Amino acid sequence: MKNPFVWLADTVVRWPFVVIALLASVALSFGLYGHDLDSRLSQEGWFNTASDSVKGSLIADKTFGRDTDGDIIALYTAPPGHTVDEPQYRDAAQNLLDNLKQKYPKQILKVDSYWDYAFSAQFADPTRQHAFASIGLNGGGGTKTLEFFRDVRSGLEVPGLKVQLAGLQPVVDALNVGMQEDIKRAEMIAMPLVAILLFFVFGGAIAAILPVMVGVLTVFGARGIMRIATEFTEVNAFANAVVTLISMALAIDYGLLMVSRFREEIAEGATPAVAVQRAVRGAGRTILFSSSIIAVCMAGLFIYPMGVARSMPYGTISTVVLAAIFSVTVLPAVLYLLGPRIDSLSIKKFSRTRTAAQIDAGIWSRMAVFAMKRPKLMTVGLSAFLIILATPFSHVTFGGIGVQYLSEGSPTRVAQEDFDRIFPNFRTEPVKLVIVGASNEQLSEIRAEANAVGGISGGFEATEPTKDGVNVLAAGLVERDAADFVVHGLREIAAPPGVTIYVAGVPTLERDAINGLIDRLPYLLGIMVLASFALMMVAFGSVWLALRAIIMSGLSLGSALGVLAWIFHDGHLSGLIGFTPGPLMFPVVVMIVTCVFGLSTDYELFLMSRMVEAHDAGADTREAIRYGTAHTGGVIAAAAAILIVVTGAFAFSDLVIMKCIAYGLIAALILDATIIRMLLVPALMMVVGDRTWGKRPLPAHVVEGRGNGLGQVEGFGGESAGELGGIPRPDDRAGDTTVVAGPGQSNR
């Protein structure tokens, strides 16, 4: 049976224009279809639908309707030395708020304010310099409600009074706008910077633009697929930012790998047809396994009931599949048509087109040699260093979505903090008790026990009169970070016979979501480990290679999370980066776990593919390690640098959650592409020795005892290394070298 990668290369060479036109048209069509994706993304999905807090919230909403008290809090402040009771302010405010619902009948459900007679006492502070209005919106609390907020926010100004907008919808809007701005920044700034970086990597404009081309096609295609997904399920807006980040990074990584391999073959004298075949067989196989592992890792997020976690795989899986498809079809077709012209518009000084001998004499080869001189010392020392880096993550706490993830100067964050400070007994996001089937006497007993729990501001008060046997009591938290203590205490209240008590409210919903994510994290890690192990076994046929890959990915992930905790939880560099230290947002941590594990395995595949290739071609263990490191070190370093540039666009975000993603990935990339891949992997493989290849046969010269591999490469271990002498090219083994020449080309 013909090798599928040979068949794919033959197809690309036979019909390059058809392949390019067909797949590019598909990508662009998806892009056009997905042009309105942003307007269809949801703000929902942050809570655990399997939790009691969600069940209680649904009962309350079904009985009384959605609680809209915290939709918009308009905080009005009189000038210094004045009060909101003065006639000019009182009349203007009352006139505005009395007519607000008539002005926005579609958007506004209700308005309660200081200037309503029934609520005056609790809606102003003792000095009467501050007062507020609670504005409930229609729309069911989803995307439509957010649109209604945007419609009415400009109509809440009262002449002479300072107005600040706090509450749920202003916070959601600020986060949403921040993410959309981050995406535009990444698309408009990161892509040109990546192209410039690739120019210096390849030394030429033509070679540099090709991986970017793959990235653009992938972004277009992924947006279209996500747009299709919105027809069948909710897709959270957070997923769009993740897709932009991952689609550009993976597509450019795969493109970089394919272009590098093609240029290497051209430099060795291969015709474009043969170079395409070798690139597709070598790099294409690596891309296939890499994309499969990352897709399976991301699919593990489907075990979570939260919509925000389930939204990420829709985009990331489609992204990785499209990036792989375009990298092994469209890109090789373009490379075939370009041939040696791949180096057009290049600057000789920066040109990276090098023969195998030149690659073997480079810095990556020398790093591998250095690591293998004292492999045991290198392995123990570097492993200990990475474990130490991971230790800050052992004491982190986690938080839900909120104003703490906005920048310190954000008007919405300042408004919410001012409101919480001025009105400590009124919380826009209270903890609630949804009580079903209680008599008045039982309700009083439950309320007394709840007030005795502590950690609440004021006491529990009924939000609505009893209806259909359902009561809702609400109280604000003194400290939001103490939600776990309060919720646990409330859940310890024993319900009388025939009575059901649900602890609900946003703080409880957040804690249940976080705890649900934590509880299922071992299953997610298990899925990623087992899937990666199985695919690595298929790829390399060695238990040790697969196991070592998992260990390396674990060290990479642990050290990256430790750095993330050290910065954002413990507060180091907070002044420099600009954020307030605090709990890590757990959905972001889950996203980083899947991305870092996937990318780490991705680089492992890049590296191991060339090592195994050299070993199967006749190199001994030491030489195979050196050869693989030498021939992939530059690609891995460039891929990491490119992803750092892409994530760097998010590092300048005003949102702390996007900063976390950026710095977490940057830390992982730096550690993985340098310490782990270039030093720790070669050292650890030398410690294990020939056992590293599992059941793979040893080269004949090793079995017969003719040398230890040091002499296989001229100058190995000295100041320079020569060609991979005496080792036949894996691509040239009998039975696998047929390439059909395309128009205007001849076989080698």
Residue 638 has pLDDT above 60, yes or no: yes
Task: Confirm whether 415 is domain-assigned.
Answer: no
Q: What is the pLDDT of residue 120?
A: 64
Strand arrangement of the beta sheet that strand 162-166 belongs to: 108-113, 130-137, 72-77, 162-166
Taking alpha carbons only, the member of 112, 113, 110, 152 closest to residue 130 is 113
User: Alpha-carbon distance 504 to 507, whole Å?
Assistant: 8
Please report which residue ranges of 617-697 form alpha helices under DSSP H: 621-651, 656-671, 681-688
Q: Does residue 226 belong to any structural domain of this protein?
A: yes
501 belongs to a structural domain: yes
Paired with 399 in beta bridges are 585
SS3 content of the chain, % helix, strand, coil (to 5): 65, 10, 25
pLDDT greater at residue 462 or residue 699: 462
What's the domain count of the chain? 3
Same domain, 504 and 524: no
Distance of CA 405 to the CA centre of its chain: 16
Higher pLDDT, 555 or 350: 555
- Assess whether 656 and 523 both reside in one domain: yes
Contact 335, 259 (CB under 8 A): yes
Q: Which residues contact 703 (CB under 8 A, 6 or more apart)?
A: none
Do the domain assignments include residue 66? Answer: no
Q: What is the residue whose two structure tokens read 């399920």?
A: 233
- What pLDDT score does 354 carry? 59
Distance in angstroms (rounded) separating the CA atoms of residues 499 and 466: 14
Look at residue 232 and tell me whether its pLDDT is greater than 70: yes
* Structural domain contains residue 133: yes
Q: CA-CA distance, 672 to 188, in Å (whole number)?
A: 27
pLDDT per residue as tens digits for the range 204-217:
788 888 888 888 88
- Looking at the fold, whether 356 and 497 belong to one and the same domain comes out as no
> Are residue 675 and residue 728 in the same domain, yes or no?
yes
Residue 729: the pLDDT is 46
Q: Which tens digit of pLDDT belongs to each residue from 434-451?
A: 999 999 999 999 999 999
Asked whether the predicted pLDDT for residue 239 surpasses 50, the reply is: yes
- The answer to whether 630 and 590 are in contact (CB under 8 A) is no
The residue among 693 and 184 whose pLDDT is bigger is 693
- Which pLDDT band, with edges at 50, 70 and 90, does 353 fall under? low
**CA-closest candidate to residue 661, choices 46, 172, 43, 183:** 183
Are 119 and 179 members of one domain?
A: no
Q: What's the whole-number mean pLDDT along residues 571-586?
A: 83
| Residue 466 vs residues 431, 461, 473, 491: alpha-carbon distances, Å | 18, 12, 10, 21
Q: Is 703 exposed, middle or buried (0-12, 13-18, 19+ CB in 10 A)?
A: exposed
Shared domain for 312 and 370, answered yes or no, is: yes
Q: What angle do CA 313, 315, 321 make, to 5 degrees?
A: 90
Same-domain check for residues 161 and 178: no
- By residue range, what is the domain housing residue 528? 4-43+174-401+512-732
The answer to which of 41-45, 227-231, 406-410, 603-607 has the lowest mean pLDDT is 41-45
Tell which wins on pLDDT, 687 or 316: 687
Share of the chain above pLDDT 70, in %: 88
Question: Which residue, of 484, 511, 538, is where some domain finishes?
Answer: 511
Position 54 in a domain? no
CATH of the domain at 98: 3.30.70.1430
Domain end marker among 133, 166, 199: 166
Alpha-carbon distance 400 to 393, whole Å? Answer: 18
Give the CATH number of the domain where residue 274 resides.
1.20.1640.10
pLDDT tens column, 68-103: 888 899 999 999 999 998 999 988 998 898 888 889
Mean of the pLDDT values across residues 631-651? 83
Residue 137 falls within a domain, yes or no? Answer: yes
Question: Is residue 486 located within the same domain as residue 594?
Answer: no
pLDDT digits (tens, 9 = 90+) for 19-39: 999 999 999 999 899 888 877
Q: Which residues pair with 431 in a beta bridge?
A: 475, 505
> Quick one: 442 and 396 in the same domain?
no
pLDDT band at 222; cut points 50, 70, 90: confident
> Quick one: 521 and 486 in the same domain?
no
Quick check: helix, strand or coil at residue 258? helix
For residue 668 the two structure tokens come to: 């992982």
The CATH number of residue 471's host domain is: 3.30.70
Mean pLDDT score across all residues of the chain: 82
Q: Is the predicted pLDDT of residue 131 greater than 50, yes or no?
A: yes
A 10 A CB-CB count for 616 gives 17
Alpha helices (runs of H) in 187-343, residue ranges in sequence order = 191-202, 205-229, 237-267, 272-279, 285-299, 307-328, 330-338
Of the two residues 105 and 651, the one the predictor is more confident about is 105
DSSP characters for 213-257? Answer: HHHHHHHHHHHHHHHHHTTTS--BHHHHHHHHHHHHHHHHHHHHH
Provide the percentage of residues in the chain whose pLDDT is more than 90: 28
- Note the pLDDT of residue 309: 80
Bridge partners, residue 367, by sequence = none
Instruction: Give the whole-angstrom CA distance, residue 459 versus residue 448.
Output: 9
Which whole number is the average pLDDT over 670-679? 91
pLDDT at 575: 81
Residue 13 lies in a domain: yes
Residue 366 has pLDDT above 60, yes or no: yes
Are 78 and 131 part of one and the same domain? yes
> pLDDT by residue (tens digit) across 656-671?
888 888 898 899 999 9
Asked whether the beta carbons of 320 and 294 are under 8 A apart, the reply is: yes
| Phi and psi at residue 49, to the nearest 5° | -65, -15
Contact 59, 470 (CB under 8 A): yes
| Cβ count within 10 A of residue 583 | 18
Q: Which of 139-143, 581-585, 599-603, 664-668 has the lowest mean pLDDT?
A: 139-143
Phi and psi (nearest 5°) for 629? -65, -40
Summarised one tens digit per residue, pLDDT across range 504-546 is 988 888 888 888 888 888 898 898 889 888 888 888 888 888 8
Q: Which amino acid makes up residue 623?
A: E
The model carries a pTM of: 0.76
CA dist 670 and 678 (Å) reads 11
CB-neighbour burial class of residue 159 (10 A; exposed 0-12, middle 13-18, buried 19+): exposed
pLDDT reported for residue 303? 87
Are residues 477 and 483 in contact, defined by beta-carbon separation less than 8 angstroms?
Answer: yes
Q: Same domain for 517 and 495?
A: no
